[in-house]
Amino acid sequence: MSVELVIVIILALVFDFVNGFHDAANAIATTVSTRALSPRNAILLARTMNFLGAIASSAVAYTIGKGVIDISGHPNSMGLVLMALVGAIGWDLITWYWGLPSSSTHALVGGLLGVGLIAIGTDCLVWSGILKILLAMVLSPILGIVVGIIFTSVFYWLFRFAHPAKAHRNFRIAQIGSATCMSFSHGMNDAQNAMGIITLALLAGNHLTEFHVPLWVKIACALAMGAGTSAGGWKIIKTMGQRLVALKPIDGFAAELSSGSVIFGMSMIGAPISTTHVISTSIMGTGAAKSITAVRWNMVRRIVWAWILTIPGAAIIGGGCWWMRTLIEGFFR
Where is pLDDT greater, at 180 or 333? 180
Confidence of residue 244 (pLDDT cuts 50, 70, 90): very low
- For residues 232 and 192, which has the higher predicted lDDT (pLDDT)? 192
- Is residue 272 within 8 Å of residue 64, measured between CB atoms? yes
State the average pLDDT over residues 218-245.
70
Residue 250 and residue 209: Cα distance in Å, rounded? 50
Angstrom distance (rounded) from CA 317 to CA 319: 6
Does an H or E element contain 48, and which? helix 39-54
Q: Is 211 exposed, middle or buried (0-12, 13-18, 19+ CB in 10 A)?
A: middle
Flag whether pLDDT at 266 surpasses 90: yes
Contact 62, 198 (CB under 8 A): no
- Could you report the per-residue pLDDT of 56-69, keeping only the tens digit for each? 888 899 999 888 99
Measured CA to CA, the distance from residue 88 to residue 96 in angstroms comes to 12
The pTM assigned to this predicted structure is 0.83
| Top-confidence residue, 305 or 326 | 326
Domain ranges of the chain: 3-326
Q: Which of 110-124, 144-158, 196-210 is predicted least confidently?
A: 196-210
| pLDDT single digits (tens) 166-222 | 888 888 889 889 889 988 998 899 888 889 999 988 988 888 888 889 999 999 998
| Phi, then psi, of 75 in degrees rounded to 5 | -70, -20
Check residue 22 and give its pLDDT: 66
- Percent of the chain having pLDDT more than 70? 87
Higher pLDDT, 230 or 137: 137
Rounded CA separation 94/82 (Å)? 18
pLDDT of residue 54: 87
d(CA 119, CA 26): 34
- Tell me the pLDDT of the chain averaged across its residues: 83
